[in-house]
Each structure stands twice: as structure tokens, then as C-alpha cells.
A and B are shown apart, each in its own frame.
Chain A
Amino acid sequence: MNQRPGPMRQKDISSCAIVGVMSEAGRRFDGTAIMRAIAIMRDRSNGLGGGFAAYGIYPEHRDHYAFHIMCESIDAQRNAEQLVSRRCTVHHDEPIPIRQVEAFHTRPLLHRYFVSVTAEARERNYGLSDDDIIVRVVMDVNASVDGAFVFSSGRNMGVFKGVGYPEEIGEFFRLDEYEAYTWIAHGRFPTNTTGWWGGAHPFGLLDWAVVHNGEISSYGINRRYLANFGYHCTLQTDTEVITYLFDLLMRKHNLPLEVACMAMAPPFWSQIDRMPADRQRLARAVRSVYGGALLNGPFSVVVGRARGMIGFNDRIKLRPMVAARRDDVLYIASEEAAIREICPEPTELWHAEGGVPIVGELRDEPVAEVAG
């Protein structure tokens, strides 16, 4: 596992394939379907990155934060554990189960911890929610522990990623053995080839997992805007910025999804001028206050969260995104072929509109039993 890039390295560019599959009824299913869907888009990747996020996979630890940590050495792992234990109780930990795959010659140590915030930590950080404290823990480990990286930190969900074709990564992490109601996947074609396992997508923080295709030309200012609110982008990837923006706008500022999307992919002023008065006021206020959150440049993004999945395109629709539904399942992908591979006859199929989110939402709490 190579070193992560330093701060002044050139920004990473995300050309790739993305897929998301979700059962809105909360039915859980294994990872074979999503692996097939991403594998069919093999030409969009170059084997230098692949990853998945799955929701609903740790029902027995559903209230604990599941940290997935990759470490270069056992020392780094110990240092990371020490830092985490300062503010969290580790209820259970184990190496992440893997299967030998020929393609992977080198790989980091992969371990998972089920943690919760200690009472002392809550007292010391009064005014901060558990989520806020966990974010701090994650940022601390990633910024200060050399050779350790927390790549997943949500509850009852996990990110699995590395350097390789996504289907190989899926095989490696034994994703056929997990059951989740939402799966998202990504295959990468990086042009800044660091070969660092942490650089693959999805990028995860708390329950957010983001896969992304495209390049954000507004990255420079999005990063500085987020710094105002305590989010420090260390990875030189657009995906990191998108994830933090969702966390900031939806979790911290409590903006409804529609308004958060309006901030990130706003309507044009010429469209705003034609809106009814109330909506115009809202749109103008959103654009003037959240200018730093505007994502410019082509992007196709699938965002996973506990309640569901969001598919989202830039406002002039420079990247592809196809969506489909059949029964209780919502599919979102870069290509129609990926959807048809696992759902040959969807009831409806459409192309996402620039700036308008495609939303998959759990109708009720996730169901515990395994689906057929």
C-alpha cells in the first residue's frame, strides 16, 4: 500500500463506472447482483480501484459505529486503536474476512471495530452529537496516524474497497456472504496512479458513502468552503468534497434534500427569474449563501445513506446516469447495460435530469430476515 498523496499533489480525477441497487422495502440481498452489474462496465475502469458500500450488513451491531480501518503496519494499527479508544468503547473487533485473489499482491491490514462514544467523551464534548464526535475521531486518525486510514464509519453499514477491478475487490471481501438492502459500487480509472487502497471509491463518512464519476472544476473553492465548517479534505479527491457537502448541508444544516441539491446543482438564473415569487426567493437565497457548495463540472454521483440512496447529476448533464425500477427495487447506473444485466425487464427506465435527484427511500425499518 503506497503512501497517500501529500497536500500539494495534483488532484485526482474520477473517470469511472458507478452503480446503485436498493430495495425500498428493506429486503436484504447479497452482493452477487451488484458485482455482476459493475463487472459488465469493466471498460470504464482500468483496474486501479474498485469498491462497494453495503447497508444493513451488521444487524447484530446495528447501534454501534462500524469502523473499517486499513493500516500499513501493525504499529499503525495499534496507534489508530489507541486514538480511537480515547473517545470510544470498542465492543468487538476482528480482521475483515477476505478471500485470496490472485490479482492482489500487496494489500494493507484490514480490520473492523464496532464502537460507541464513551460517556466521558460526550461530557467533554458537550454540544456535539455522537455523530459529530465520531467525525472528529475519524478526521483525527486520518490526519495524525501515519499509515492508518478509517475508510468506513457508519452504523450497520460498511465500505469495502481497494486497488483492483471492482469485481475482484468484491470477490476479495467475500461480498457474496453479506446481506444488504442497499448496495452501491464503483470502478475507477484514475489518472493520478497512486495505487493507494484508500484512494478508491466509495468515500465514506458516518452513514454517507459516495461513488462519483466526473471531475469537479470547483474543487478548489468547495474544499476551502468546507474548511470553514471544520471539514478538512486530505485526499485530493472530489468524492471527499461531495461527501462532506452532503453531511454539512443535510445533517448539520438540516436542509431538505431538494434544497441541498439546489445548492450543489442549482437552476440557472434565467430559470430562477421565471419561478413563482416564493420559490424565487428561496432559489436566490440558496445560490447567494451556498455559492461555495456549488459543484461545477461534470458529475454523476450515487450517495448511499441509512435511509436510502440518491442519484444525482450536474446541472448541464455532462455524465450519464440511467435509473430503473422493478417491484421494490431501485436501480441507478452509469449504463443501461449494467441495469439490464441484473434486471432484464424493468417496469420503468429513464435517464436522470441534470440537477434533479433520483431518490430511493426506505418505506419502513429494514427487515431482518434474508430475502429470496
Chain B
Amino acid sequence: MSQLRKWLVEPDFIVVRDPERCIQCQVCVRQCANDVHEYDSDEDVVLSDSSDCVGCHRCATLCPTNAVSIKRAELEFRPHGNWEAAVLRNLYRQAETGGVLLAGMGNDQPAPVYWDRLLLNASQVTNPSIDPLREPMELVTYLGRKPDMLEIEARGVSPRLTTTLAPQLELRVPVMFSAMSYGSISYHASIALARAAAAAGTFANSGEGGLHEGLREYGDHMIVQVASGRFGVDVDYLNVAAAVEIKIGQGAKPGIGGHLPGEKVDAGVSATRMIPEGTDALSPAPHHDIYSIEDLRQLVFAIKEATGYAKPVAVKIAAVHNISAIASGAVRAGADIVVIDGFRGGTGAAPMMIRNNVGLPIEFALAAVDSRLREEGIRNQASLVVAGGFRSSADVVKAIALGADAVYIATAALVAMGCHLCQKCYTGKCNWGIATQDPYLTKRLNPNIATRRLVNLLNAWAHEITEMMGGMGINAVESLRGNREHLRGVGLTDRELRILEIKAAGE
């Protein structure tokens, strides 16, 4: 079925093939889901039509002779400070299609990354650094509601605890896998995340796509999401998991709901979400039963009732302008954990304009919320988990120093599994088998390999975190959490330093 060619739309990438190295083995031909490469048997040569290349690097990675390379498209525009090439391309696309520009993954615009402007301390002379290879380094973290104080019965020789603590999640490392719905990612990806979380002693979030049967055995390490579409939500779903998260918003698209294009709704997704195959799964923008803060309280307690008050209930909000007030409200509404997702958060599909322009950096949101909750004396009533573009263990350490109890990662986890951030998740043609339901493509993600890579990632980060903590003279993560003394800012304005409540380098 031929379509009218979109004349204004030019290729984003160019495939460069080294004829000296190409052996016409056709691995690239077989592996490209966008049919960029073609084998011409008459000439015995592989040709590439770059127009549909998305820059996922599948061909380049698998090429046995490294004959293929991918470069940015060479058509150069006259340089312009306002009308940059990317802007022009968006206009051409919209002119040809009349549609909303979609994008996958997180905000790719060059806004400042404040993590890179925060620097860490190390102990010298007046205080020894601690050697993580020879001394215990404790990363164990408990997420959940904590009381102000404990009641102890000092009975005879040994004191006895009389307070009962609210339910807690125990993490061996303060990093968890953030919400990615089954549907936006493949079943193999979902199961790899669940298995890796179980192996590493942490948790994976199911996202708003319900929980596939095959993941129920990992329920003890799953956090299930109740989002505005309520996909897959029933009482069993709530009870099989270790915690329930009410998703009010996400950093990639604050203010609007989830979007799963029909191409990605196959039989499995359809059964799990309880919607017909091939239909778009559009979550509404608000929860239609939460129009004010007291409605949220009602939902939080409805879930607590349904789960017998045995599990922590989390509330996930996107970082927006009055985030402190919203977070405070969520805590008072009964949330045991508050999750804040910054504007770099990823997604399978979002309107590009919203992804790139709505929301705030998580660094400021975290600092503001942590300070505000402490001012109000309620910081202990809910744990703070942050998400949105965490790239390394250093980002995690800085986040904990600013006040977070734990960090959610999603993009980093997908990259660990093979994602190359081509941002075309919404097409369902993920060449790495991650953001697709196409059975040709999902085979490419071997869950055993993916699990191994994810566990490797968490172990590597855990080691790096202990190294940095040891350098600061700290051997327990409780002493890093909220300890802004160990941060200094560079390249930050006075105002920014004040909002973050940290000193400038040199002070």
C-alpha cells in the first residue's frame, strides 16, 4: 500500500557503509525493523536507504566486521540562532501530517543538568575516610511511614518495643526500577526488571499496564501502580504486590495521562490491561475520582482498606511549580511514600511539546519538598523517592544528600538492557526488543541476559555509592540522607543556592 511521499521530511541519520569491510552477510538487513538495508543479489551488495533510519545502532552493533556506522544527516541548514535544524524538521513533519508531534524517552533539550553543578565532599585529616573494601558500608533503606518517636518498655534487663511500625519496604540498595508499563515495554523487559529487582533486594514498579500473570511470582518485589486509567486494577492485583503506587502524574508529561498506541496492544497486553486488542490505551488526564486533595485521601485509604493496611501506599507526582504544597498535601492525605518525577523523566509516548516544556528539574523539586516537609515537622511521615533522568551512582548520592530516601531509575535501566535512545518507542518498532510487542523483535531481548545486565548495573552502582560514602567518612546511608553539608554548588546563582540550601564551593 503506497502512501504519498512526505517531501518535506528529510532523513535524520545517514548510514555509512565501508565497502572494504562489508562482507554482504546481511545481518543488518535481517535486523533492521525499519527496512533500511536491502540486499541486491544481482550486484551482490547491501544497499542502505537512510530515510527511515532512526539511529538505534542495531545494525552497527551486530555487524561482524564493524562495517556500518550511523551519522547525523549531512544536509546542513544555514546556521540560525532561533530557527534551529530540529525546529525546522518539526515544522516540516507537522506540515506533512497535521498531527501532534510524538516523542519517546525523556526531555532531550539542553536545559542545565543541575546534578553536574553539585559537587561532593571527602574527608581528610580532621575526619578519616572509611575504606569500603575493609569496613562495613550500609545501604539498607526502609521506605514507609515512620513515627516521631518510639515507645519502649524498659522491662528488667532488656528494653522492649511497644510501638508497631507502619508497613515498610526494605531495600538493600537505595535504587529501584521506575514505572514502565507492560505494553510500553515488552513482556521480556518487564520480567527482566522484576527478576533483577528480586535478585538485588530492591523493587520494580509495574507501571500502569497491570501485572501480567508471569510476574505475580515476583510480587514481593513489585510495586503496582494505580493510574488514571486503572488498567488491570483489581483486588488481587493490589494484594499480590509489596506496595501500591497511585500515579497522579509523571515527569515526562505532567498534567496528561498515559498513551499506548494501538500497534502495541497485542493479545498479552490486551488481557493484562483488560482492553480490546489493537485499541489505543489512553489514560485520562486526571483521575476522574480525584478532583481535590481530600479525594486523594479517600483513594489512599480505599486502597489501604482493600489491602488490610498491610502495604505502604505511595503517591507519585510530577515536579511542577507548587510541588512543595502538593507533596505536603499528599503526605497529609495518608501517603506513606511520595514519589516525585522530574522533567527529564522518560516515557514510551508523549507529545513532544509537553515532554520538552512542562515540569521542573528534580534537583529543585527534591530540595524544596524535603525542606518544606521538615519545616512542617512531617518529614518522617513519608519517605521521599525521586525519579527523572538519573544517569549514574553520583547522581544518586547527590540526590540522597539533598534529602531523598531512594531513587527510581528507568531510562538508565533500559539503556543497561540495550536501549540506544533513538526516541521512537511509540512506533512499536524497537530494534532492541524493549519497547515493542512485535514477536520478531521481542525475541531479541533475552530476559536472562537483560536480568544479568540490570543486576550488574545495580551492583556497580552500589559499590560506587559505598566508595563515595566512604570518602565522606560515612558508613551508613542514614548519615548521607539529607546531609546537605556534603554538597557544594558550582555555577549556581545565589538564588539557586538558597533554594537548594547548599553552600557554594569555597564556603
Q: Which residues of A pack against B, CB within 8 Å?
A: 8, 10-11, 13, 15, 191, 214-215, 217-221, 224-225, 227-229, 252-256, 258-259, 266, 268-270, 278-279, 281-282, 284-292, 294-298, 316, 318
- Residues in A with CB closer than 8 Å to B150 are 253, 255, 259, 285-286, 289-290
Top 5 A-B residue pairs of the complex, sorted by shortest distance between their CB atoms: A220-B485, A218-B479, A291-B478, A296-B479, A220-B483
List 16 A-B pairs, Cβ < 8 Å. Answer: A217-B486, A218-B474, A218-B483, A220-B484, A253-B150, A278-B158, A278-B161, A288-B146, A289-B150, A292-B481, A296-B478, A297-B127, A297-B479, A298-B127, A316-B130, A316-B475
B123: contacting residue among A217, A224, A289, CB under 8 A: A217
Q: Is B4 an interface residue (CB 8 A)?
A: no
CA distance A270 to B146 in the complex (A): 22
Min CB gap B57→A, angstroms: 42
| CB–CB A258/B159 < 8 A | yes
| CB–CB A191/B126 < 8 A | yes
| CB–CB B127/A278 < 8 A | no
| CB–CB B475/A296 < 8 A | yes
Q: Is B86 an interface residue (CB 8 A)?
A: no
- Residues in A with CB closer than 8 Å to B126 are 13, 15, 191, 215
| CB–CB B127/A13 < 8 A | yes
- Residues in A with CB closer than 8 Å to B128 are 298, 318
- Residues in A with CB closer than 8 Å to B9 are none
| CB–CB A288/B142 < 8 A | yes
| CB closest residue in chain B, given A11 | B485
Q: Counting chain B CB atoms within 10 Å of each CB, which of A221, A256, A318 scores highest?
A: A221
CA distance A15 to B144 in the complex (A): 38
Q: Which residues of B pack against A, CB within 8 Å?
A: 123, 126-128, 130, 135-136, 138, 140, 142, 144, 146-147, 149-150, 152, 154, 158-161, 163, 165, 168, 374, 377, 379-380, 472-476, 478-486, 503, 507
CA distance A75 to B478 in the complex (A): 44
- Residues in A with CB closer than 8 Å to B146 are 288-289
Min CB gap A111→B, angstroms: 34
Min CB gap B211→A, angstroms: 28
| CB–CB B138/A282 < 8 A | no
| CB–CB A269/B140 < 8 A | yes
- Residues in B with CB closer than 8 Å to A270 are 136
- Residues in A with CB closer than 8 Å to B163 are 285
CA distance A8 to B144 in the complex (A): 33
- Residues in B with CB closer than 8 Å to A214 are 127
| CB–CB B479/A215 < 8 A | no
A220: contacting residue among B135, B159, B374, B482, CB under 8 A: B482
- Residues in B with CB closer than 8 Å to A254 are 152
CA distance A338 to B448 in the complex (A): 63
Given A278-B160, A289-B146, answer yes or no on A268-B374 (Cβ-Cβ < 8 Å): no
Given contact pairs A255-B152, A285-B150, a sample of 11 additional A-B residue pairs in the complex whose CB atoms are under 8 Å apart? A218-B474, A219-B485, A220-B484, A221-B481, A224-B374, A227-B374, A253-B150, A255-B149, A279-B158, A282-B152, A289-B165
CA distance A234 to B459 in the complex (A): 40
CA distance A295 to B379 in the complex (A): 19
| CB–CB B152/A296 < 8 A | no
CA distance A372 to B271 in the complex (A): 89
Min CB gap A247→B, angstroms: 13
- Residues in B with CB closer than 8 Å to A289 are 146-147, 149-150, 165, 380
Q: Counting chain B CB atoms within 10 Å of each CB, which of A227, A282, A295, A318 scores highest?
A: A282
| CB–CB A224/B482 < 8 A | yes
CA distance A266 to B476 in the complex (A): 10
| CB–CB B159/A215 < 8 A | no
| CB–CB B476/A221 < 8 A | no
CA distance A254 to B126 in the complex (A): 33
| CB–CB A217/B472 < 8 A | yes
CA distance A287 to B139 in the complex (A): 12
Min CB gap A290→B, angstroms: 8
A297: contacting residue among B379, B473, B481, B507, CB under 8 A: B473
- Residues in B with CB closer than 8 Å to A224 are 374, 482, 484
- Residues in A with CB closer than 8 Å to B377 are 228-229
| CB–CB A256/B154 < 8 A | yes
| CB–CB A259/B127 < 8 A | no
Min CB gap B250→A, angstroms: 28
- Residues in B with CB closer than 8 Å to A281 are 161
A294: contacting residue among B158, B161, B165, B478, CB under 8 A: B478
| CB–CB B485/A8 < 8 A | no
A296: contacting residue among B147, B159, B473, B484, CB under 8 A: B473
Min CB gap A11→B, angstroms: 7
CA distance A217 to B491 in the complex (A): 25
| CB–CB A253/B149 < 8 A | yes
- Residues in A with CB closer than 8 Å to B138 are 268-269
| CB closest residue in chain A, given B149 | A253
| CB–CB B142/A217 < 8 A | no
- Residues in B with CB closer than 8 Å to A229 are 377
| CB–CB B379/A228 < 8 A | yes
| CB–CB A228/B479 < 8 A | no
| CB closest residue in chain A, given B151 | A254
| CB–CB A292/B482 < 8 A | yes
Min CB gap B154→A, angstroms: 4
Min CB gap B348→A, angstroms: 35
| CB–CB A268/B136 < 8 A | yes
CA distance A57 to B140 in the complex (A): 47
| CB closest residue in chain B, given A253 | B149
- Residues in A with CB closer than 8 Å to B161 are 278, 281-282, 285
| CB–CB B507/A8 < 8 A | yes
Given A253-B149, A292-B482, answer yes or no on A259-B473 (Cβ-Cβ < 8 Å): no
Given A8-B507, A227-B374, answer yes or no on A221-B380 (Cβ-Cβ < 8 Å): no
Q: Counting chain B CB atoms within 10 Å of each CB, which of A218, A270, A279, A287 scores highest?
A: A218
- Residues in A with CB closer than 8 Å to B149 are 252-253, 255, 289
CA distance A219 to B121 in the complex (A): 13
Min CB gap B189→A, angstroms: 32
| CB closest residue in chain B, given A284 | B142
| CB closest residue in chain B, given A276 | B158
- Residues in A with CB closer than 8 Å to B130 are 316
CA distance A316 to B165 in the complex (A): 28
CA distance A236 to B130 in the complex (A): 23
Q: Counting chain A CB atoms within 10 Å of each CB, which of B135, B144, B480 scores highest?
A: B480
